[in-house]
Amino acid sequence: MDAEELKKRTRSFALNIIALVQNLPNQSPTNIIARQLLSCGTSVGANYRAACRAKSGADFVAKLKIVEEECDEAMYWMELLQAIRFGNDVAIGVLREEANQILSIIVASIRTTRATIVNAKIVNRQS
């Protein structure tokens, strides 16, 4: 998956989070969870776009770590929604799976980039 495809995927994830939140009941506990989920769920794509504009490998990794944290947090809030039985359980399950897949891609990207940075430092020392 290239950067443009992942940008589209994280944007779609954000739009689906928005749709989920719009359909939650208007009650105090769900309003709090909805705000939290909306914030972190939409920031996954925004922070990934920022990572794509990173100035260095280290900057890229730092920005991807934010994506990782936001995605994991979104998964947490969706788990809570399922636990208290608010919202469409099937839709939440699909979104949790998508979040898990995005998270896996991001973690793999972090590992790959870190390895590349380490290898580049080794090559530079040997030169």
The CATH number of the domain holding residue 49 is: 1.20.1440.60
Residues near 118 by beta carbon (within 8 Å), at least 6 away in sequence: none
Confidence at residue 67, expressed as pLDDT on a 0 to 100 scale: 98
Instruction: Give dist(CA 125, CA 121) in Å, integer.
Output: 6
What pLDDT digit, counting tens, does each position of 53-65 carry? Answer: 999 999 999 999 9
Instruction: Give dist(CA 79, CA 75) in Å, integer.
Output: 6
DSSP 24: S
The parent domain of residue 65 ranges over: 3-126
Residue whose entry in the numeric block shows the structure tokens 């909306």: 38
Burial class (CB in 10 A: 0-12, 13-18, 19+), 81: buried
Residue whose entry in the numeric block shows the structure tokens 């636990």: 83
What pLDDT digit, counting tens, does each position of 52-100 carry? Answer: 999 999 999 999 999 999 999 999 999 999 998 876 789 999 999 999 9
Name the domain count of the chain: 1
Instruction: Give dist(CA 37, CA 99) in Å, integer.
Output: 12
Identity of the residue numbered 40: C
pLDDT classification of 41: cutoffs 50, 70, 90: very high
